[in-house]
A = this chain, B = another copy of it.
Amino acid sequence: MAKDRLIYLPLGGAGEIGMNCYVYGYGAPGKERLIVVDLGVTFPDMDTTPGVDLIFPDIAWLEERKDRVDGIFITHAHEDHVGAVGHLWSRIGAPVYARAFTALHARRKMEEQGHNPDKVQTRQPWPETIQLGPFSVGFLPVSHSIPESSSMVIDTPEGRVIHTGDFKIDYAPGVGEAFDPDLWRSVAKDGVKALVCDSTNVFSKNEGRSESTVGPEITRFVSEQSGMVVATTFASNVARVRTLARAGVDAGRSVCLMGRAMRRMIEASTEAGVLQEFPPTISPDDAAQLPRGNVMLIVTGSQGERRAASAQLSRGKYMGLKLDEGDTFLFSSKTIPGNERGVIAVMNALSELGVDVQDDDDGRYHVSGHANRPDILAIHDIVKPQIVIPMHGEHRHLREHVKLAKAHGRTGVMAPNGTCISLSGNEPQVVEYVETGRSYLDGSVQIGAMDGVVRDRIRMALNGQVTVSVILDEDDNPLGEPWVDVMGLPETGRSGTALTEVMEADLDQALRRADDRTILDDDKLDDLLRRVARQTANQEIGRKPEVTVVVSRLS
């Protein structure tokens, strides 16, 4: 009989920053009992996923083994960790465990997708543990940019694994638990088999700064402004939102929260008891009645999202408020790579309104929620694991993190999505490569990334689209001329005649010249018409469009 083993398998999050989903298993090969850490989403972009609503990890591997999955643990309430719980839960079906604040979010996501929110169980932090088959699992508090973030302590017959989740080392995070090195040392003191560790900021050389360092800077900044002040940050960064609100109050301003996510997050944090002493707020209606210098808005949309409050305000009146010359807009946030165009568009629109825009000024008004390179080394040194497995990063982050671990004398293992690692025995080893990928929420439907649906949409965006319609009578002769409609193509090209007319004439000629073998064969006729349409388009406008051919046979 094969010996039991401990496996680690990332299905998402190790190869991108987003859609986190990690699997741990213990048991005989192929019969391991499994637990899942995080079920997150990532967000689409126009370049690669136009029209897509959300992106999930492909969990086909888990679904096929759902009878062996004993539980799903959510480390914290960021969308890239909890966002897919509602969408993917039914394909796994195991109970979901989280701490109180995170559980609130997970339950809402279950409800939104029509699932029973009671499948989400609230658990207390370490030293409480949950026994699931061969696993004993606890939530170890850690500091991050959202309350109640946790690392997972996963005890197995092969030893202890610590999965950091997202973390930074912050001794004064404002809201949420401070990093407690003594607690961490006590958890690690009897030896840790593997540290599965956040890699996001491995390229950031300087020690990370505490959330508490931005408060005084923001307070000073707000106090220096005379017009209306608007500040944006991630709604889930509850500590920052409170810092911003307090800075407003200290400057004698009334504070107004704008954007659904912002209000909801503050309510949820208060309800869960993780947020105390948030200043009183006023409604946008009330804010509009006050002198501009007495108002501070805290708004969603730090990443330039088109529908968020910041973008709306940059475009004009929003909820009765309109920014103006002399007002100030503070981005208490960093632009996530890839979002630059959107953020810059908002900044320029604000500039056109006469608003002074202040970015984070290289960290003066924002600190990251992730451990920088020295902090990653610090956690390695506190935990002293036998093995470091980098996660939560693009390929380049994971690779750099492995190099960093090795440079400091540790065993570092490269395990991008789909790499199933056995942690049993003396040396970790790859035991299998599992096929992984992405699935999309597309409208109300889940589709696979490789289904070709999005590829066709990209092609239409790049090439335009042509519909060719032909009717053949009972004798297989064309009835009238072919008819052409175009979408996303110039009206006229080289010849100066309408593109549709030129195409219709060329198609008509091709049709009349075609032999019976072509005319009588649907596929051949389709090919001919498509080829002619593309050729003509290429001659006229220098582009080969996507073509839909409609042949109607009256016979």
Cross-chain contact B340 with A447 (CB below 8 angstroms): no
Q: Within 8 Å of chain B (Cβ to Cβ): is A156?
A: no
Tell whether A454 pairs with B488 under 8 Å between CB atoms, given A464-B51, A542-B445: yes
Q: Within 8 Å of chain B (Cβ to Cβ): is A288?
A: no
Interface residues of A in 95-148 (CB under 8 A from B): none
Q: Within 8 Å of chain B (Cβ to Cβ): is A207?
A: no
Cross-chain contact B456 with A488 (CB below 8 angstroms): yes
Mark each residue of chain A from 321 to 358: 1 if its CB lies under 8 Å from any CB of chain B, else 0.
Answer: 00000000000000001101100100110111000010
Mark each residue of chain A from 437 to 468: 1 if its CB lies under 8 Å from any CB of chain B, else 0.
Answer: 00000111101000101101110111111010
Q: Within 8 Å of chain B (Cβ to Cβ): is A318?
A: no
**How long is the Cα–Cα vector from A546 to B458 in the complex, in angstroms?**
14
Q: Within 8 Å of chain B (Cβ to Cβ): is A505?
A: no
Q: Give the chain B neighbours of A460 by CB distance below 8 A.
A: 457, 460-461, 465, 487-488
Tell whether A395 pairs with B461 under 8 Å between CB atoms, given A467-B550, A489-B453, A552-B471: no
A422 to chain B, nearest CB (A): 22
**Number of A positions contacting B (CB below 8 A):** 60
User: In the complex, which residue of chain B has the Cβ closest to the Cβ of A416?
Assistant: B352
Tell whether A463 pairs with B51 under 8 Å between CB atoms, given A337-B344, A490-B451, A550-B485: yes
Q: Within 8 Å of chain B (Cβ to Cβ): is A407?
A: no
Interface residues of A in 276-294 (CB under 8 A from B): none
Cross-chain contact A485 with B444 (CB below 8 angstroms): no
Q: Within 8 Å of chain B (Cβ to Cβ): is A520?
A: no
Cross-chain contact B51 with A543 (CB below 8 angstroms): yes
Q: Within 8 Å of chain B (Cβ to Cβ): is A45?
A: yes
**How long is the Cα–Cα vector from A346 to B26 in the complex, in angstroms?**
37
Interface residues of A in 22-70 (CB under 8 A from B): 45-47, 50-51
Q: Give the chain B neighbours of A344 by CB distance below 8 A.
A: 337-338, 394, 396
Tell whether A442 pairs with B541 under 8 Å between CB atoms, given A51-B464, A395-B348, A453-B490: yes
**Can you list 11 pairs linking A and B with CB atoms under 8 Å apart?**
A50-B462, A51-B463, A337-B340, A443-B490, A443-B542, A444-B493, A444-B543, A453-B464, A465-B465, A471-B554, A548-B548
8 further contact pairs, Cβ within 8 A, besides A45-B341, A443-B490, A443-B541: A46-B50, A51-B488, A348-B394, A444-B494, A444-B542, A453-B464, A456-B487, A471-B554
Give the top 9 A-B pairs by smallest Cβ distance, nearest first.
A444-B542, A443-B542, A443-B543, A461-B461, A457-B488, A50-B461, A351-B396, A460-B460, A456-B488
